[in-house]
Amino acid sequence: MEAMTPAMRARLKAQLVERLKTPVDEPSWGPDWVRHGERVAARNQKSKSLLARMLARSKKPEDEEDAPKPARVLSDRDADDTAIIARNMEKSRQVAHYKPLYMTAAALALVIVAISMFVDYHIIREIWTRALANEFMVVPPALQSSVVFKSLQVVFAVLIVHFMLKITGAYGRNTMIAASFVLAIVMISGLGYLVAYNNMDGGTATAQQQHQSVQPNSIEQLFTSAGGVQSAAMTTPVVAADANDGVSLGLPKISRASLAHADSWFWLAFASVVFFIVTTVAALYMQTVENNVRNCHIANDYRHRRKDFALLHLLEHADRRA
């Protein structure tokens, strides 16, 4: 440092001071001052206690005039620069302590993104398989590679949702989360209905199976019809009782073709809801990965600030020796 001319030292010192006075970039999360601002930050000067304020008021003006004044080590400008540099160093140090947490959060978010895209890939693959399969639900060998490449559109779907969330900001992100929450409730309700319809006692499918098992088969009907008029007369009230069992609303019946067509649309709608929810989760966590990678880069700033501060200290020491 002594080999440098005073002009070179002054120019380098000015560059270091301006660099150290540059505010610290705010990470997406971390210390309290990131969320609440400077009102919770550590103060440079401690406030005086009540006893100290009372003693200061009781002090006479003559005593203050006779007391020796402390020598000014730094000018007002240097004192302001020193306070700003010290505050920036402290904020950068606090952010640097969160670097392991930033790296852990980025890794976990990346795993969730990979799992979400894996689920989306299989949903789209099943849709394209049903679309391109023949009547035996078998995809021709010439179209199997086409199914794989068509299923990779999930990557572009996640990217476009991610870019839309970045453009719309917090309002778009909150709207997307609320819509995904409502669709998740609908999805869970639909799954619960399917479980109740197929498996639980008293469900619609179980009741239909029990009703079909009570009815006689074709062989029993053959022996019943050959039994004579007496057995036919005995079964007539039972049939009439079965026919009168329940209340008929007089609604038009839906054909089996219409039910099969509606079943396909319901399946497509359910798959679309699941795809939308999983894609939204993948896009949100992709944004989390991006934010935490940026936070790690901001946390590395403390190492550079320490080097600049040490170099500034050496320059000041060389100026004092000169």
CA atoms of 293 and 316, how far apart (whole Å): 36
Per-residue three-class SS string for 260-285:
HHHHHHHHHHHHHHHHHHHHHHHHHH
Closest CA to 288 of 148, 121, 112, 155: 112
Residue 19: pLDDT over 50? yes
What is the spatial distance between Cα 306 and Cα 276, in angstroms, rounded to a whole number? 47
DSSP readout, 218-234?
Answer: HHHHHHHHTT-HHHHHH
The answer to whether residues 296 and 90 touch, using CB atoms and an 8 Å cutoff, is no
* Distance, CA of 103 to CA of 85 (rounded, Å): 27
Q: Please name the amino acid found at residue 198.
A: N
Report, as an integer, the average pLDDT of 243-248: 49
Q: pLDDT tens digits, residue range 167-225?
A: 988 888 899 899 989 988 888 887 777 777 666 555 454 455 555 554 554 445 544 55
| Segment 108-166, tens digit of pLDDT | 999 999 999 898 888 888 877 877 777 667 777 767 777 777 778 888 888 999 999 88
Q: Which carries the bigger pLDDT value, residue 52 or residue 293?
A: 293
Spatial separation of the C-alpha atoms in residues 173 and 162, rounded to whole Å: 10
pTM score: 0.64
Q: How many CA atoms lie within 13 A of 148 on its CB side?
A: 5
